[in-house]
């Protein structure tokens, strides 16, 4: 079945450091890929998504590229801020849209000033 | 963006009692809502898809008689955990799907922490 594996946390960085959170997936066909972010006390929010190979999703300085050859969708940001502290979830959907999401376990990021 | 609320945010109940959790889309109508369950340090697991005006679709291994879902309006879905037991203690999260110009996005509620004593 479909599955998502993302790097274990927690991740602790200093402000302005470079961030990478690895995500790989297993799926039949051509899934859509998502990154969701959950800030403390809030619900998950869609951060970015990509629907086909080589697509790059981007938002708020974060980027992730859909790599079919490596079945990966790694999240990157060049310079993190304290306000980026949150839990990040990688997810996939093989339904074309956002239905039937399969999530990774989440990676907690803490950014220190 | 669209907002989804859940009520209550946390609940403690005795074993054998039933608990109802509400999920509301506050500023949009949602024909489809989803219910997830999350264990500590685990990913969200889809429990069921709630469709307005029809029966919910449950994922394999989820007991439909234990987790009753009602989607009575376009802005409200409820999950009732019947005859709750300690193993039902978990974090329950709902989401509502909005369609805009042919693209759909799931908006998530903040979750409900259920503790069964």
Which tokens is B48 given? Answer: 């069921």
Does A105 lie at the interface with B, CB-CB under 8 angstroms? yes
Q: How far apart are alpha carbons A103 and A110 in whole angstroms?
A: 20
CA distance B73 to B24: 10
Question: A98 pLDDT exceeds 70?
Answer: no
Partners of A64 in the beta sheet?
A57, A75
pLDDT at B1: 67
B47 to chain A: nearest residue by CA? A100
The pLDDT tens digits of the residues spanning B75-95 come to: 999 999 999 999 999 999 999
Q: Collect all residues of chain A within an 8 Å Cβ-Cβ radius of residue B41.
A: 105
* DSSP secondary structure code for residue A73 in this structure: -
Is the pLDDT reported for residue B59 higher than 80? yes
Within an 8 Å CB–CB cutoff, is residue A41 touching chain B? yes
Nearest CA to B43 out of A32, A102, A41 is that of A102
- Yes or no, beta carbons of B43 and A106 under 8 Å apart: yes
Q: Which of A3-7, A29-33, B9-13, B100-104 has the least mean pLDDT?
A: B100-104
Q: Do B96 and B23 contact (CB within 8 A), yes or no?
A: yes
Query: Quick one: DSSP state of residue B59?
Result: P
Q: How far is B110 from chain A (nearest CA, A)?
A: 4
SS3 B86: helix
CA distance B50 to chain A (A): 12
Q: How far is B38 from chain A (nearest CA, A)?
A: 9
Minimal-distance CA residue of chain B relative to A10: B41
Which two structure tokens, joined as six digits, stand for A54?
Answer: 């080589």
Mean pLDDT of B42-65: 90
Place of tokens 């987790």: B67
Instruction: Report yes or no: B1 and A45 within 8 Å, Cβ to Cβ.
Output: yes
Partners of A38 on chain B (C-beta within 8 Å) are 108
* pLDDT category of residue B104 using cuts at 50, 70 and 90: confident
Which residues, at least 6 apart from B63, have a Cβ–Cβ distance to it below 8 Å? Answer: none
Q: For residue B30, what are its two tokens?
A: 């949602």
How far is residue A76's CA from residue A54's CA, in Å, rounded to a whole number?
Answer: 15
pLDDT tens-digit series, residues B21-40: 999 999 999 989 999 998 87
CA atoms within 13 A on the CB side of B76: 8
Tell me the C-alpha distance between B40 and A8, whole Å. 14
Per-residue pLDDT tens digits for A17-38: 999 999 999 998 889 999 999 9
Q: Does A106 touch chain B (CB under 8 A)?
A: yes
Give the whole-angstrom CA distance, residue A83 versus residue B113.
25
């Amino acid at each position: 079945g479909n599955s998502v594996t993302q790097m274990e946390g927690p991740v602790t960085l200093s402000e302005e450091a470079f961030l990478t959170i690895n995500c790989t997936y297993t799926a039949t066909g051509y899934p859509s890929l998502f990154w969701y972010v959950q800030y403390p006390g809030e619900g998950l929010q869609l951060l970015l998504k990509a629907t086909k190979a080589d697509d790059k999703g981007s938002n708020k300085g974060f980027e992730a590229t859909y790599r079919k050859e490596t079945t990966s969708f790694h999240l990157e940001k060049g310079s993190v801020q304290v306000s980026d502290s949150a839990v990040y979830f990688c997810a996939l959907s093989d339904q074309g849209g956002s239905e039937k999401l399969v999530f990774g376990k989440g990676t907690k990021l803490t950014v220190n000033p | 963006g669209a907002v989804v609320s859940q009520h209550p945010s946390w609940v403690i109940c005795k074993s054998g009692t039933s608990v109802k959790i509400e999920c509301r889309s506050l500023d949009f109508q949602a024909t489809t809502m989803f219910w997830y369950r999350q264990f500590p340090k685990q990913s969200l697991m889809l429990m069921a898809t709630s469709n307005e005006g029809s029966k919910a679709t449950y994922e394999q291994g989820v007991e439909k008689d234990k987790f009753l879902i009602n989607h009575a309006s376009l802005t409200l879905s409820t999950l009732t955990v019947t005859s709750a037991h300690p193993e039902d203690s978990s974090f329950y999260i709902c989401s509502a799907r909005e369609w805009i110009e042919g693209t759909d996005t799931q908006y998530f509620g903040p979750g409900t922490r259920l503790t069964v004593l």
